[in-house]
């Protein structure tokens, strides 16, 4: 019987440091190139990219996706988790990335928190919305 653990995803092999059977050298060279590529990316870019991914996912889960199926994709329970994770991430990263990078991330986070509040049929109490334990109440 196969399990997820015994069948790694195709991407897992891409980041493996073990040489592939039969090829070896090409796989090692490719892995080394990928490590050099990621080493050249500034930390602030990695952080902002991760935050944008969280924002995009949260926006879709809040029902803000473009297209006729936006309402079908809405899942406020998932949106709450993503927004809370984003709030913690942005709050922790802000001192490291500086206000010029953190400001737009905070603005996007606030917009998502307000969109969540608007999409909820039963609004959270002030300070109890997603991520508000990190950001404070959002009005």
pLDDT at 7: 44
Give per-residue pLDDT as tens, 1-49. 444 444 444 444 444 444 445 556 788 988 888 888 888 999 999 999 9
pLDDT at 103: 97
Nearest-angstrom CA–CA distance, 112 and 58: 7
The DSSP result for 49-86, as a single string, is HHHHHHHHHHHHHTT--SSTTHHHH--HHHHHHHHHHH
Average pLDDT, stretch 92-101?
A: 97
pLDDT at 45: 95
**CB of 109 within 8 A of CB of 55?**
yes
Lowest mean pLDDT, pick from 28-42, 83-97, 112-126: 28-42
Residues 6+ apart with CB under 8 A from 139: 126
pLDDT at 61: 98
Give per-residue pLDDT as tens, 59-68. 999 999 999 9
């Amino acid at each position: 019987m196969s399990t997820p653990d015994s069948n790694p995803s195709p991407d897992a092999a891409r980041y493996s440091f073990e040489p592939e059977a039969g090829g070896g050298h090409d796989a090692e060279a490719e892995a080394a190139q990928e490590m050099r590529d990621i080493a050249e990316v500034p930390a602030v870019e990695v952080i902002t990219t991760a935050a944008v991914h969280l924002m995009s996912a949260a926006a879709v889960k809040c029902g803000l996706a473009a297209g006729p199926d936006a309402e079908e994709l809405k899942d406020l329970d998932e949106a709450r988790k993503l927004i809370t994770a984003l709030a913690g991430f942005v709050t922790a990263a802000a001192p490291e990335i500086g206000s010029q990078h953190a400001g737009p991330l905070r603005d996007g986070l606030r917009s998502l928190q307000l969109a969540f509040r608007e999409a909820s049929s039963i609004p959270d109490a002030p300070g109890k919305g997603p991520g508000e334990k990190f950001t404070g109440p959002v009005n």
